[in-house]
Amino acid sequence: MKLIMLGAPGAGKGTQAKMIAEKYDIPHISTGDLFRYNMSSGTELGKQVKAYIDKGQLVPDDVTVAMLMDRIGQEDCRKGYVLDGFPRTIQQAEALDDALQKEGTAVDMVIDIEVDDQSIVERMSGRRTCPGCGATYHIVHNAPREEGVCDKCGEKLVSRADDAPETVQNRLNVYHEQTQPLISYYNEQGILKEIDGTMKMDAVFGQITAFIDAM
């Protein structure tokens, strides 16, 4: 089962992808998490991508595609995966399709989570993430039991630097210009499912599982 989560920054891709990964026992692959892991551990790749991410721009396709291909080539990805934050450009989507075609497989379903820009800005300002285990919270919509502390591992929660309002606006512009065209790209392949992402998290997840179970 090869799934792609599509949607604006803050639409809820990561939140849903984590739940899908758990329910269907497939790895959750977030290119944003992979980049952040490389930045915090100070790798060459981390140094290379930091300036783009800080400005809310996309990391160049060649770098991103190479990292993603390396990840999906690993053993745990044989049974499938849920991609979160990849592809973000037509070029990335084509690179993925070509690579899968060579092994005689293809993407099974693309789940597009639709949220208006105004709700996105509100979501990003309230997003908190755990540097320890990668869990994501929202100060209003998905608050941790104890304020500022991760339920799962007890680490202190942080706001991502690129969730600052100025950067969020850049990321939204980039989304509309470069990522939104993927909606028609996958619609033409007949594998696109659209979901209203302004519903509560559990309702969004209910629709996603209904789509997957009907596949």
- The dihedral of CA 165, 169, 175, 178: what is its sign? negative
Q: Which residues in 52-111 contact Zn ion (CB under 5 A)? A: none
The reply to whether 123 belongs to the active site is: no
Please count the CA atoms within 13 angstroms of the CA of 87 that sit on its side-chain side: 25
- Tell me which of 2, 13, 71, 123 is the catalytic residue: 13
Q: Return the exposure string of 121-138: e unless at least 16 CB atoms fall within 10 Å of the residue's CB, then b.
A: eebbebbbbbeeebbebb
The reply to whether 13 belongs to the active site is: yes
For position 135 contacting Zn ion by CB under 5 A, the verdict is yes
The CA angle 140-145-147, to the nearest 5 degrees, is 65
Candidates 29, 56, 95, 96: give the one binding ligand ADP (CB under 6 A).
56
Size of the site for ligand ADP (CB under 6 A): 37
Q: Which residues in 141-160 contact Zn ion (CB under 5 A)? A: 150, 152-153, 155
The CA angle 120-124-127, to the nearest 5 degrees, is 135
The reply to whether 128 belongs to the active site is: no
The reply to whether 145 belongs to the active site is: no
Per 3-state DSSP, the chain is made up of helix, strand and coil in percentages (nearest 5) of 50, 15, 30
d(CA 11, CA 98): 27
The reply to whether 78 belongs to the active site is: no
For position 186 contacting ligand ADP by CB under 6 A, the verdict is no
Q: Which residues bind ligand ADP (CB under 6 A)?
A: 7, 9-15, 30-32, 35, 52-53, 56-59, 64, 85-88, 92, 123, 126-127, 136-138, 141-142, 162, 171, 200-201, 204
Q: Which residues bind Zn ion (CB under 5 A)?
A: 130, 132-133, 135, 150, 152-153, 155
